[in-house]
Amino acid sequence: MATATAATDQIQSRLSSLPPPFSTSPETFELITQGAEALVYKTIFLSPSQPVALKIRPTKTWRHPTLDKRLTKQRITAEARVLVKCRKEGVPVPNVLGLDWEKGWTAVEWIEGKTVKQAIRERDLNKEDELVDLLGRIGRVVGKLHASGVIHGDLTTSNMMIRRAETEGGSGGLEGEIVLIDFGLASQAMQEEERAVDLYVLERAFGSTHPKEEGLFGKVLEAYEGTYKGARSTLRRLEDVRMRGRKKRLFCLAVYLLYSIAASFQLYFQRRAFKRAHGCESPPQYPLRDPFGLGFITKVIPAAKRQELLPYFDSLHQRFGKTFSYQPWFGRGVLFSVEPENVKYMSTTNFEDWGSRDARQEGVGELLGDGIFTTDGAFWAHSRALIRPQFDRAQVSEQVEPFESTTIKLIRKIPSDGQTVDLQKLFHKFTMDTSAKFLTGTSTNSLDDEQAEEAQKFMDAFDYAMEDAVWRVRLGKLYWFRPDRKAPAAIKYVRDYVRQWVDRAVAYRDSVAAATKDQESDDGAYIFINELAKQKEVDATRIHNETLNVLLAGRDTTAGVLSHMWYILARRPDVWEKLRAEVDALQGEPPTYVKLKEMRYMRNCIRETLRLYPSLPIIGKRAVKDTILPRGGGTQGDKPIFVPKGTNFTPSLWSLHRDKDVYGADAEDFRPERWTESLRPYWSYLPFGGGPRVCLGQQYAQSQAMYVTTRLMQHFDRIEPRDSEVLRHRLSPTLSVNGGNKIAFIA
């Protein structure tokens, strides 16, 4: 982090030291790209209507200062000379507007439009003639470039822009002038070899970036030959370059195969020694019917579609024991274990050997980005350090009373004359509103009729994106055989919706008030996102991602707990009456944080609900190095087991929390009283995880669930179930009642 801060300070110092007009420009410098040698910003030049690309070459601290200055000067002047020469010869390139090699910057004309790479990927697949025309224009531009005696050095579709004519309007299609950009590796040369290599780089880059269009690359060479007079000799040399490239690839492939074989033998003997040193033995194996493990997948997917995945995994544990593994010949191995000692060992003792990033990024990475739930190591530790203060006991206690206004809105949505209502849907709206209020100071107002439509669109998009994330995890690499064009749109809608909150927080931080006022909203309420924005090392992207990460936990997990508990309350009048007695002691007054702590039976009901129906019933971890777990191996299951790097470890809390050795013969039953009988489940009860990654928001979630339950019971005398007795569950990835929770309230 110190390195990143130092780099930022250096850039800011360099920007502030620029001569006019940059040093006096009121415009902010928008970072466009950041490469190994330079950073490119968008700003203005001389007038507000003159946008420019400002290329800055930061000082390389690892290089001798004299050498660094000399290289910077050489590269800046060489690039400028090439651009000037190209402009003179009629090659479409950006115009050089200014430079200073002492300060390390170059200002060139800003090219408005899309890169060729982006345009090809977004093109209409039914209009191949447009693509052929585009490739012809690329060939002609490269021909002009070589005819002028210039080699680009990095010809890719990312370094070509499509500049549309002002009269055309819009930004769609492939029409427009091709403009070559980024001449940092360019040189003036007359050798056939150099021109041929330039074309070869373009050919290889085009094939890897646009594999579906690779067969049409010949159109580029045809147009090149028709534009550049010396093209024939260059194309003959291109064949030689290709041949050398093939030979090099074959040689590299042979070396790679030999290296892989040698490395495999070395790894085998290393792992064998590791197993012997730790006394490891193999756990029971799920039988394979084919090398790819498709037999297992064909069992899992139907169970998931029937909303019976958790009972299916439980049946596997009944069949194979508390620990077993599934290891296809080709693909990633999976270890299933509900041994409390294994879960503890993974969560604490060898915590560093396990990661969440890879497994979670495969599912929710595109939606949530890099945040507290999707990262490991130093980044995760920094995220946790940023977020921990926001969930300290004082902040949680202050959040109880603000629940009241949203709870009243929830109560008004519930008919009191016995009409059926889907309580789960209302709970999701309630937790979305309260979470948004806590995080951003602004509710989504999904319980308000006037603003519910926009909030519902957001929640629908959020739900769709999370459902897609579940399928990404279940199918792994096979997910790409299940194309879903709606998912990217849903993810974009969610991130765009949250972006408005982020922009407000950044604006608040940058305002004068941020330096003089405490972090409070107009009504004095605490605001998570503003508090996060106060941290100097946190940029807008980080705020965006961390907010989404916490929003997921705050919305879905608490709503799931409430839905399951009220499903039970509608069918257990004995539990309802015991809770009623505890609630009546408040004499109709809204509970304070202190009063909630005194409501032991309600807290035990929450605990029992989380035991039977944990919000995240499956924990996903992946071994980041070869490691061990203490139990599960051998015929008795009491020996350590070896876990190879890359293995997924998926403890099922659903099964762990139903262990009859811990909870007794009635482990499947809802009985809150068990928590007053000296029950000490330790690592057999993990609704909020354990170890360094234990959930920071557990007090907030439990207080919220207890508060809304108390207020609902104060307003309604009794409830009745209005749906099937068969309880099925939806996993996406948090647990909810499949089909909703239909209940009737009577005041």
Q: Is 280 annotated as a binding residue?
A: no
Q: End-to-end distance of the chain based on CA atoms, in angstroms?
A: 57
Cα 175-177-179 angle, rounded to 5 deg: 130
- Looking at 412-514, which runs of residues are DSSP E strands? 417-422
User: pLDDT at position 158, please?
Assistant: 93
Rounded to 10 degrees, the C-alpha dihedral 448/451/456/462 comes to -110
Distance between CA 555 and CA 299 in Å, rounded?
31
CATH number, span 10-109: 3.30.200.20
Q: Find residue 720's DSSP bridge partners.
A: 744
Mean pLDDT value of segment 496-502: 91
What tens digit of pLDDT does each residue of 697-708 get?
898 899 999 999
Residue 25 confidence (pLDDT) above 60? no
SS (H, E, C) 349-413: HCHHHEECHHHHHHHHHHHHCCCCCCCCHHHHHHHHHHHHHHHCHHHHHHHHCCHHHHHHHHHHC
What tens digit of pLDDT does each residue of 636-691 get?
999 999 999 999 999 999 999 999 999 999 999 999 999 987 888 999 999 999 99
Residue 211 confidence (pLDDT) above 60? yes
Mean pLDDT value of segment 114-118: 92
Give all strands of the β-sheet with 160-163 in edge-to-edge order. Answer: 114-115, 160-163, 177-180
Of residues 30 and 565, the one with the higher pLDDT is 565
What tens digit of pLDDT does each residue of 351-398 get?
999 998 877 877 788 888 898 988 898 889 988 988 888 777 666 666
Mean pLDDT value of segment 556-579: 94
Element (H, E) at 107: strand 105-109
Give the pairing type, strands 648-649 and 334-337.
parallel
Least reliable range by pLDDT among 19-23, 255-259, 377-381, 431-435: 19-23
CB atoms within 10 A of CB 730: 17
What tens digit of pLDDT does each residue of 288-331 get?
887 777 788 888 888 888 888 899 999 999 999 999 999 888 77
Cβ proximity of 467 and 434 under 8 Å: no
User: pLDDT at position 3, please?
Assistant: 44
Mean pLDDT value of segment 390-415: 80
154 among known catalytic residues: yes
CATH 3.30.200.20 residue ranges of the chain are 10-109
Residue 2 confidence (pLDDT) above 50? no
What tens digit of pLDDT does each residue of 459-485 get?
999 888 888 887 777 777 667 766 677
Helix/strand/coil for 633: strand
List 68, 154, 314, 626, catalytic entry? 154
Q: Own/partner pairs for 11-16, CB < 8 Å, 24+ apart?
A: 11/39, 11/56, 11/58, 14/56, 14/58, 14/103, 14/104, 14/105, 15/56
CATH 1.10.510.10 residue ranges of the chain are 113-246
User: pLDDT at position 4, please?
Assistant: 44
Of residues 187 and 509, the one with the higher pLDDT is 187
CATH number, span 113-246: 1.10.510.10
b/e map 2-36, b = 16+ CB within 10 Å: eeeeeeeeebeebbeebeebbeebeeebeeeeeee
Q: Find residue 634's DSSP bridge partners.
A: none
Distance between CA 439 and CA 526 in Å, rounded?
9
